[in-house]
Amino acid sequence: VGAVSMATTKSSTRGLPSGIIPALTTPLTADGRLDEAGLEAVIERAVADGVDGLLVLGSSGEVAALDAETRRRTVDVALRASDERVPVVAGVVGTDISATRAAIRDLAGAGIDAVLVAPPAYGPLSQDGLIRFYESVVPERIPMLGYHIPAFTGSRIEPATAALLARSGCLAGIKDSNRDLEYLQQVVMAGADAPGQWNVYVGTDSLILPALLLGADGAITLAAGIAPRWPVELVRHYREGRMPEAVRAQEMLTRLILALRKGAFPAGAKAALELQGVAGRTLAGPREALSDAEVHALREELVGLGVPSVAEQESK
């Protein structure tokens, strides 16, 4: 996968694209309901900027904290707004198998192109437990990505486990948010005997370029929703062999994601969207949005980095 992906653009199925997939936040109104116009605006900008797919209901989308109704409407709005221009992936986080299975079935029914499924929250699973879990919830008609995020779930999906789930066709790839590129290389190799597609995505904005170099098919990341053109151009530079430009693009993205790391996750990204006039900064309860002072400080940093559309914030 590695060296080849540099020279050629993979032909991808509808379900799992190569390249940049912003992990979208879920814009909320001040009283906590889905801000549909905000979500549409975020999606419209990302598609216009050339992203290869969209993720809704990921960790960045506060999936675990949203109620069922908000999750359902988020999917509906995302599918309508993307309008089949790019594939839409949806995240699933849960604790029990039957609810996870039902959520996946509903997403497939609604028209989602692929699901990104985290191991059950609340206590780690053994590797055998992870295998049984993914085999128990695998959807029939759309691909499923495993989500490696041990900081949130307690469970590590070991490379040997990924290899087994690749060979059986249960998983179509892995998103790795553990910031460990040695692991990423191992899960890239884990797909060697996969019968079909095996896509590995890095989940960290600061590591997109090195991950591509090591064989990742793309990135599913937060900052890609704030300045979508930046990672899109990074990938283009990389694929067309302009490495110095790719390095500079990576450096900008790294600075951006460091600036966004403020308050409760993903408060910085939501505040950035507010500064861009795209959507409000409200977080799903019980987490709290950045304060006015924090937003002001963030604004200075984003202006310094040249993030597009960051305007003077109105006082509240």
Binding site for a copy of itself (CB under 8 A): 2-4, 6-7, 59, 64-68, 93-99, 118, 120-123, 125-126, 128-133, 136, 151-154, 179-182, 185-186, 204, 206-207, 209-211, 213-215, 241, 243-245, 247-248, 250-251, 254, 258, 264-265, 284-288
The long-range contacts involving 101-110, CB below 8 angstroms and separated by at least 24 positions, are 101/136, 101/137, 104/137, 104/139, 104/144, 105/139, 106/72, 107/75, 107/142, 108/139, 108/140, 108/141, 108/142, 110/72, 110/75, 110/76, 110/79
122 is a catalytic site residue: yes
Tell me the closest approach of the beta carbon of residue 272 to a copy of itself, in angstroms.
19
Catalytic residue, candidates 5, 134, 155, 175:
175
262 is a catalytic site residue: no
Catalytic residue, candidates 5, 18, 82, 147:
147
Tell me the closest approach of the beta carbon of residue 210 to a copy of itself, in angstroms.
3
Nearer to a copy of itself, 85 or 101 (CB): 101
Catalytic residue, candidates 11, 122, 315, 316:
122
Nearer to a copy of itself, 277 or 285 (CB): 285
Nearer to a copy of itself, 37 or 121 (CB): 121
Nearer to a copy of itself, 48 or 192 (CB): 192
Q: What is the distance between the alpha carbons of residues 53 and 106, in angstroms, rounded to a whole number?
A: 20
183 is a catalytic site residue: no
Answer whether 4's CB lies under 8 Å from 17's CB: no
Answer whether 197's CB lies under 8 Å from 13's CB: yes
Alpha helices in the chain (DSSP H): 2-7, 36-48, 68-82, 97-110, 127-137, 150-153, 159-167, 181-190, 208-213, 229-239, 243-260, 267-275, 292-305
147 is a catalytic site residue: yes
Strand partners, 92: 117
In single-letter form, the type of residue at position 213 comes to L
Nearer to a copy of itself, 264 or 297 (CB): 264
Tell me the closest approach of the beta carbon of residue 115 to a copy of itself, in angstroms.
16
Q: Could you list the active site residues?
A: 59, 122, 147, 175
